Structure formats: structure tokens, C-alpha cells
């Protein structure tokens, strides 16, 4: 399943890269098309302004001849207006064609010729006003010649810009076609990739649905097994203890009521039977306690661990005094949990620290806390390394244990020390601790060295 998820992630990544590349390519084509479109519009504006300049030039000639014939000052006002329009058009052309060096040179020639043309026209008007002769002045011929020169320059500019506009229109049409084709291909590729990914997702969804059905069936089987375990626990707590009690009763009757009929060897055998029955009864009780933890009837509430430890230490004060232990409890947080189970948890860990003390030194037990991430839980679940936990750390200077027994020590009825070593225990305390931590969605890990002490870390998740 993980491989399929990786395959889908790779397919998505490749599709995004392809779509991104095609989108950038399409964007580049579109930008080129827009650029040519703007340039085409600009050429249109330049040609329009050339026509305006040409019209103004013709108006100057028309108003000049009109005044020569009628001497009506209205023509002079029109001529001055046309001169202003011509000057304005030339300035506009100069500003619009800053990216065209050839047109800029032609516009400079046109500007100079226009100045000579308008000056000659104005001189001709002044000559007509002062001279009574009907002979045409030299200024008139000069102005006519300059008008022709200006017309040639304007025609040259018009032809040049028209050719440039035609070229730009061709480029605009080309990139319009390319952009349209690219968009079509982009849409086609998008549809193909989307269809491919959709098929992958449908297959993965079908696989997950089948896996979910299988998981649901396993959950039902697990629930059935759990119910059977509850029944076994009930039998262990009630039915199996009754024969043990009878064994104890009858063995005690033989030991104490029929004492005269039992010799020394048989008394020793009866004592062993009685002790074994007691131990069996204790193991059944502990097993019942462990199985009862699989069903949580208690409601979670906020537990002040510092306050709880104070009461626990008061309860075991006699043990602490007897073993001359030094117990240091630093600030502990308040966490959501099951109060009775947490009491069993800390009682069991403190009892272990006092029980497995070193023979050559007094016990020193330290309980601290910290807020850390789950990096130490990486081997249990790699996803826990980024989660936050309240970590309760319980250290002692007891006999410790060898590291190769770390996994074994949390298993039920597994003892690291033999009965002959002088350390009593049934091997269920740490299994209870692990079950309680599981009920709190937490984790317990151990560390230690032989004859150097042990360290237990309780990881309680910090709820968002």
C-alpha cells in the first residue's frame, strides 16, 4: 500500500511538473502575442499621427493660398492653428517612436523642414500685407518647396511604419495561432493526466475499501477475542480460585488438625503445596487485575501528578523509612488520565525501585518531568518524533538490569531475577504499567545498567 501511495505521489508530482512547464510555455506564447498586439496598435497610432501631420501640413498650404486670394484674416487664424497642430503631431511622433532610430532621424528632418515651411508661410503672409505688387514672393516658392519636402518625409514615414505594422500583424497572427494550439495541447494533456490520476485514485480507493472491510472483519474478531478474554478473566477471578482455596483448606487441615498423623517429610510437602497454592492464587489475582485494565469504566479527568505523588509517598512511607530511601519529587504537570490506574502505575514503579535496591548503598529515587518531542519513541513509531509529550522520568540507583532484557521486562510473568537472588516478585508489575500507559495513549521505555540503577520514562501525549 505504501508503494502505491508513493507511485500516486510521484504521478501527481510529474503531472504538476508537466502542467507547470506547459503553462509557462503557454504563458510565454501569450505574452509574445500580447506584445505583438501592442506593437501593432502602436504602429496604428503612429500612422494615424502621420496622417494628422500630413493633414495639418495641407491645411497650412490651403489657408496660406486662401489668404493670398481673399486677404481674409480668418485664414491666418486657421493657418496658425494648423501650424500648432503640425508641431503637436511631430512631438507626438517623436515620443511614440523612441524605439525606432530610423524614424527618429526622419522625424528630426521633418521637424526642421516644418519649421522652415511655417516660417516661409508666415513671411509670405507678411510680404502680402506690406507689398502692393501682385507678383508672387520668393517666400511663397520656398514654402511650396518645403511643403513638398515635408510631404515626401511624411510619405516615407508612412510607408516605413506601414511595412513595420504589416510585419507586426504577421507576428501577431503567428503567435495567436501558436497560443491557440498550445492551449489546445495543454487542455488535452491536462485531460489525459487527470484521467490517468483518476483511474489510479479509483483503484487505490477500491483497494482501501477492501482493506477497510478486511480490517473491520479483524476488528470484529478482535472484539470477540476480547470478550473471550473477559470471560477467561472472570473465570480466573472466581472459578479457578475456588479449587485453590479448597487445596489450602485441606492442606491446612492435614497440617494442623491431623498433625499427629503426618510425619516430618509429609509436613514439608504439605507446606510446599500450601505455599504453591498461595502463589497460584496471587498470580491469578494479578492476571485478573491485568485483564481488567483492558476495559476502562473510569472517566478521564485532570490529574495533578505532584499532588497524587504526595499521597502515594504517604501511603508507602513505612517502606521508604525501612529501606532508608531518599525520594525527590520535582514539579510534575497536570495531565488528563484515570486516577486509579495512575495510582497503580506510580505505586508499581516506586515499589520496584524500593524492592530492587542495591545491598551496598541506600536507595535514591528521583522523579522529574519535562516537555519533549517523541524522538526517543522513533523505534516504536516513526510518526511520534514530531509529537509533544509530558515525560515523567523515574530514576533510581538500584541493581538495574542488562540492556538485552529491556523488551523482556515488560512481558507478563517475566522476571529478570531468579527467586534465589533474594528479590521477590511475580513479573507482572511492569506489564501492568505498560497496559496503563496504553490506556492513556502513552508509552513507557526503560534504560539502565547492571548495578548502576534504572530509569523509566513515561510519555503522556499532550492533547491539542
Instruction: Out of 123-132, 205-214, 324-333, 452-461, pick the least confident.
Output: 123-132
Beta strand pairing call for 364-373 and 326-329: parallel
| Average pLDDT value for residue range 266-285 | 73
User: 284 or 219: which carries more pLDDT confidence?
Assistant: 219
pLDDT tier at 464, thresholds 50, 70, 90: low
| pLDDT tens string 374-384 | 888 888 888 88
Q: Categorize the per-residue pLDDT at 217 as very low, low, confident or very high, splitting at 50, 70 and 90.
A: confident
| pTM beyond cutoff 0.85 | no
In this predicted structure, the answer to whether residue 282 has a pLDDT above a threshold of 90 is no
Amino acid 367: pLDDT: 93
Res 389: pLDDT: 92
Q: Which residues make Cβ contacts (< 8 Å) with residue 364, sequence separation at least 6?
A: 325, 326, 328, 396, 397
Predicted local distance difference test score (pLDDT) of residue 222: 75
Q: Give the range among 2-11, 214-223, 345-354, 419-428 with minimum mean pLDDT.
A: 419-428
Please report the DSSP string for 87-138 in residue order.
Answer: HHHHHHHHHHTTT-HHHHHHHHHHHHHHHHHHHHHHHHHHHHHH----SPPH
The CATH class of 298-461 is: alpha beta
Architecture of domain 2-202: Up-down Bundle (1.20)
d(CA 303, CA 442) in angstroms, rounded, equals 15
Average pLDDT of the residues in 294-302: 73
| Residue 420 reports pLDDT greater than 60 | no
Query: Mean pLDDT throughout 180-192?
Result: 81
Report the mean per-residue pLDDT for the chain: 80
Amino acid at each position: 500500500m505504501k508503494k502505491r501511495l508513493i507511485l500516486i505521489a510521484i504521478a501527481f508530482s510529474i503531472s504538476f511538473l508537466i502542467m507547470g512547464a506547459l503553462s509557462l510555455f503557454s504563458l510565454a506564447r501569450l505574452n509574445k502575442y500580447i506584445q505583438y498586439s501592442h506593437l501593432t496598435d502602436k504602429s496604428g497610432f503612429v500612422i494615424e499621427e502621420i496622417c494628422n501631420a500630413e493633414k495639418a501640413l495641407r491645411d497650412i498650404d490651403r489657408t496660406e493660398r486662401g489668404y493670398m486670394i481673399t486677404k481674409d484674416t480668418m485664414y491666418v487664424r486657421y493657418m496658425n492653428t494648423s501650424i500648432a497642430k503640425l508641431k503637436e503631431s511631430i512631438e507626438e511622433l517623436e515620443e511614440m517612436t523612441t524605439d525606432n532610430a530610423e524614424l527618429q532621424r526622419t522625424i528630426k528632418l521633418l521637424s526642421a523642414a516644418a519649421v522652415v515651411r511655417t516660417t516661409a508661410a508666415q513671411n509670405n503672409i507678411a510680404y502680402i500685407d506690406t507689398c502692393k505688387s501682385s507678383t508672387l514672393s520668393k517666400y511663397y516658392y520656398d514654402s511650396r518647396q518645403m511643403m513638398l519636402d515635408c510631404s515626401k518625409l511624411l510619405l516615407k514615414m508612412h510607408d516605413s511604419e506601414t511595412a513595420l505594422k504589416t510585419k507586426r500583424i504577421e507576428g501577431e497572427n503567428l503567435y495567436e495561432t501558436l497560443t491557440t494550439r498550445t492551449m489546445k495541447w495543454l487542455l488535452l494533456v491536462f485531460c489525459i493526466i487527470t484521467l490517468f490520476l483518476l483511474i489510479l485514485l479509483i483503484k487505490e480507493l477500491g483497494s482501501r475499501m477492501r482493506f477497510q472491510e478486511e480490517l473491520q472483519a479483524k476488528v470484529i474478531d478482535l472484539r470477540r477475542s476480547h470478550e473471550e478474554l473477559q470471560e477467561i478473566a472472570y473465570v480466573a477471578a472466581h472459578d479457578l480460585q475456588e479449587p485453590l482455596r479448597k487445596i489450602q483448606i485441606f492442606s491446612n487441615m492435614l497440617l494442623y488438625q491431623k498433625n499427629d498423623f503426618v510425619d516430618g517429610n509429609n509436613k514439608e510437602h504439605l507446606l510446599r503445596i500450601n505455599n504453591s497454592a498461595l502463589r497460584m492464587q496471587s498470580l491469578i489475582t494479578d492476571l485478573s487485575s491485568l485483564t481488567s485494565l483492558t476495559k476502562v469504566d473510569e472517566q478521564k479527568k485532570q490529574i495533578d501528578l505532584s499532588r497524587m505523588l504526595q499521597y502515594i509517598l504517604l501511603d508507602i512511607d513505612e517502606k521508604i523509612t525501612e529501606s532508608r530511601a531518599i525520594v525527590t519529587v520535582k514539579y510534575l504537570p497536570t495531565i488528563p488520565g484515570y486516577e486509579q490506574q495512575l495510582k497503580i502505575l506510580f505505586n508499581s514503579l516506586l515499589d520496584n525501585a524500593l524492592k530492587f535496591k542495591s545491598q551496598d548503598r541506600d536507595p535514591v529515587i528521583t522523579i522529574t518531568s519535562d516537555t519533549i518531542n517523541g524522538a526517543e519513541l522513533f523505534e516504536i513509531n516513526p510518526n511520534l518524533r514530531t509529537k509533544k509529550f509530558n515525560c515523567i522520568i523515574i530514576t533510581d540507583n538500584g541493581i538495574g538490569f542488562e540492556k538485552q532484557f529491556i523488551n523482556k521486562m515488560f512481558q507478563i510473568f517475566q522476571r529478570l531475577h531468579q527467586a534465589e537472588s533474594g528479590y521477590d516478585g511475580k513479573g507482572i508489575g511492569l506489564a501492568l504499567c505498560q497496559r496503563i500507559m496504553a490506556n492513556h495513549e502513552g508509552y513507557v521505555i526503560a534504560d539502565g545498567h547492571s548495578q548502576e540503577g534504572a530509569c523509566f520514562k513515561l510519555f503522556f501525549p499532550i492533547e491539542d
